[in-house]
Homo-oligomer: A and B are copies of this chain.
Amino acid sequence: MSVNVYDVAYELEKSVRESNDYKELKSLYEELNADSEAKQLFDRFRTLQLELQQKQMMGQEISEEEVQQAQQTVAIVQQNEKIAKLMEAEQRMSMLISELNKIIMKPLEEIYGNPEEQ
Contacts and interface: CB of A to CB of B under 8 A. Distances in A.
Interface of A: 2-6, 8-20, 22, 25-26, 29, 58-59, 93, 96-97, 99-101, 103-108, 110-112
B104 A6 contact: no
A81 B110 CA distance: 23
User: How many chain copies does the complex carry?
Assistant: 2
Contacts of A104: 9, 12-13, 16, 97, 100-101
Nearest to A11: B8
Given A58-B59, A93-B108, A97-B104, A8 B4 contact: no
Contacts of A108: 93, 97
Given A96-B5, A97-B108, A111-B25, A11 B13 contact: no
